């Protein structure tokens, strides 16, 4: 265990470099000593594996990852943390810190340049203001990675990991499940962070599937249908898809009959295969 989860040590280190937390960048640093070793263990990294970390902060998770993985590349947007990381990670020669915005980075290029002949996984305590965009961005790029293990707000974890057909399911649950098998690993209380956020968190793991979990003719149409289906949660699927995709209710109604779904069905009742069938019918009609 590193000193980086000792509050007094981290406060001193940050003070030494005149660092002040930025709310806008989602800077809540982990100070519970049991979390990072557990994340590093459960993300599946080993000595044949490279890890991409997004937002290393003061380096508390990076420190643990560097001990289990062959190499860690940590992407941090905040320049002010570079001297902090330089000091906190000085004992490792298998860590590289890149000053960049994870939302704009070409991860395919990064992987081919930094992780030749290694398996790669992602492990991060994500800045909460971009949780879903970062996850979707990583998944949509179809990167050669085996898993994504990330700390997110508890509510986001519940939403992302919700099973189709259950109350919590939303567009992001279906979109994520298209690419992988998500699971909640463990919960983390708000008091584990400095400064403490208002809500609890959870660590989730997304095991990337070799192939999409359902066959679709056109991925763009699939995601358009998923987004449209959940755009008006309280309405029936006929209403929300018709509104979201700008097609007539009678056309949606006809397709529902063709794929044997009841006319009153709502988005949260659909299975992954139902979404694929609906998207494929629409692709056949409109492409
Ligand atoms: N990993 C550290 C920990 O667990 O204590 C810090 C986690 S903190 C929740 C999120 C980190 O992500 C901060 O260091 C923040 O500066 C960084 N960050 C925010 N937006 C980012 C972006 N777009 N790209 C890369 N890093 C970002």
pLDDT for position 1: 60
CATH number corresponding to 219-286: 1.10.8.100
For 127-165, what is each residue's pLDDT tens digit?
999 999 999 999 999 999 999 999 999 999 999 999 999
Q: What is the CATH number of domain 3-208?
A: 3.40.50.150
* Chain Cα centroid distance, residue 75: 15
Contact between residue 195 and residue 28 where contact means Cβ atoms under 8 Å apart: yes
CA 27/CA 224 separation, integer angstroms: 33
* Dist. CA 76 → ligand 1 center (Å): 6
DSSP SS3 for 171: helix
Dihedral angle sign, alpha carbons of residues 219, 220, 225, 228 = positive
Residue 10 Cα to ligand 1 midpoint, Å, equals: 15
Question: pLDDT tier at 234 (50, 70, 90 boundaries)?
Answer: confident
- d(CA 267, ligand 1 centre) in Å: 34
Q: What is the pLDDT of residues 25-52, one digit of tens each?
A: 999 999 999 999 999 999 999 999 999 9
**Cα of 150 from ligand 1 centre, angstroms:** 12
- What was the pLDDT predicted at 286? 81
Sheet of 119-125: strand order equals 95-99, 71-76, 49-54, 119-125, 147-153, 201-208, 180-188
pLDDT recorded at residue 233: 79
Residue among 149, 121, 125 nearest 55 (CA):
125
C-alpha of residue 168 to centroid of ligand 1, in Å: 27
Q: What is the pLDDT of residues 82-135, one digit of tens each?
A: 999 999 999 999 999 999 999 999 999 999 999 999 999 999 999 999 999 999
H/E element, 97: strand 95-99
23 forms beta bridges with: none
pLDDT band at 283 (very low <50, low <70, confident <90, very high): very high
> Of ligand 1's atoms, which has the minimum distance to the CA of residue 57?
14
175 pLDDT above the threshold of 90: yes
Range(s) of the chain covered by CATH 3.40.50.150 = 3-208
pLDDT of residue 228: 96
Q: Which residues contact 286 (CB under 8 A, 6 or more apart)?
A: 221, 247
Q: In ligand 1, which atom is closest to the CA atom of 62?
A: 1
Output the ligand 1 site: residues, CB below 6 A.
25-30, 54-57, 60-61, 75-78, 81, 101-103, 125, 127, 130
State the distance from the centre of ligand 1 to the C-alpha of 187, rounded, in angstroms: 19
Given a contact cutoff of 8 angstroms between Cβ atoms, the answer to whether 16 and 64 are in contact is no
On the question of pLDDT at 13 being above 90, the answer is yes
Distance 195 CA to ligand 1 centre (A): 13
Residue 185 CA, distance from chain mean position: 14
Task: Provide CATH 1.10.8.100 ranges for the chain.
Answer: 219-286
| Residue to mutate (ligand 1; options 21, 37, 63, 77; most atoms within 8 A of CB) | 77
**Distance between CA atoms of residues 189 and 203, nearest Å:** 11
Separation of CA 125 and ligand 1 centre (Å)? 7
Please report how many Cα atoms fall inside a 13 Å half-sphere around the Cα of residue 207, on the Cβ side. Answer: 6
Nearest-atom index, ligand 1, CA of 128: 9
Closest CA to ligand 1's atom 10: 127
pLDDT tens digits, one per residue of 43-77:
999 999 999 999 999 999 999 999 999 999 999 99
Question: Mutation test of ligand 1: which of 10, 57, 104, 200 has the most ligand atoms closer than 8 Å to its C-beta?
Answer: 57
Whether the per-residue pLDDT at 287 is higher than 90: the answer is no
Question: Which pairing describes strands 180-188 and 201-208: parallel, antiparallel, or unpaired?
Answer: antiparallel
């Amino acid at each position: 265990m590193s000193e980086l989860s000792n509050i007094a040590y981290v406060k001193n280190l940050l003070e030494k470099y005149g660092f002040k937390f930025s709310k806008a960048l989602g800077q809540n640093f982990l100070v519970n000593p049991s979390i990072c070793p557990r994340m590093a263990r459960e993300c599946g990294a080993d000595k044949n594996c490279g890890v991409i970390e997004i937002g290393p902060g003061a380096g508390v998770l990076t420190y643990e990852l560097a001990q289990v993985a062959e190499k860690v590349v940590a992407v941090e947007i905040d320049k002010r943390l570079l001297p902090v990381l330089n000091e906190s990670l000085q004992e490792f020669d298998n860590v590289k810190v890149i000053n960049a915005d994870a939302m704009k980075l070409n991860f395919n290029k990064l992987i081919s340049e930094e992780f030749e002949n290694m398996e790669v996984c992602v492990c991060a305590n994500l800045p909460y203001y971009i949780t879903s965009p970062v996850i979707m961005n990583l998944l949509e790029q179809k990167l050669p990675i085996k898993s994504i293990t990330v700390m997110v707000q508890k509510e986001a974890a519940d939403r992302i990991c919700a099973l189709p057909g259950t109350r919590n399911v939303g567009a992001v649950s279906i979109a994520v499940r298209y690419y992988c098998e998500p699971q909640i690993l463990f919960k983390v209380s708000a008091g584990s962070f400095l400064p403490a956020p208002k809500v609890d968190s959870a660590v989730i793991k997304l095991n990337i599937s070799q192939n999409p979990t359902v066959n679709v003719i056109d991925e763009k149409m699939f995601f358009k249908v998923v987004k449209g289906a959940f755009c008006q949660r309280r309405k029936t699927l006929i209403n929300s898809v018709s509104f979201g995709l700008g097609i007539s209710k009678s056309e949606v109604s006809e397709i529902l009959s063709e794929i044997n779904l009841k006319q009153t069905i709502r988005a949260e009742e659909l299975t992954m295969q139902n979404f694929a069938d609906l998207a494929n019918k629409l692709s056949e009609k409109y492409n």
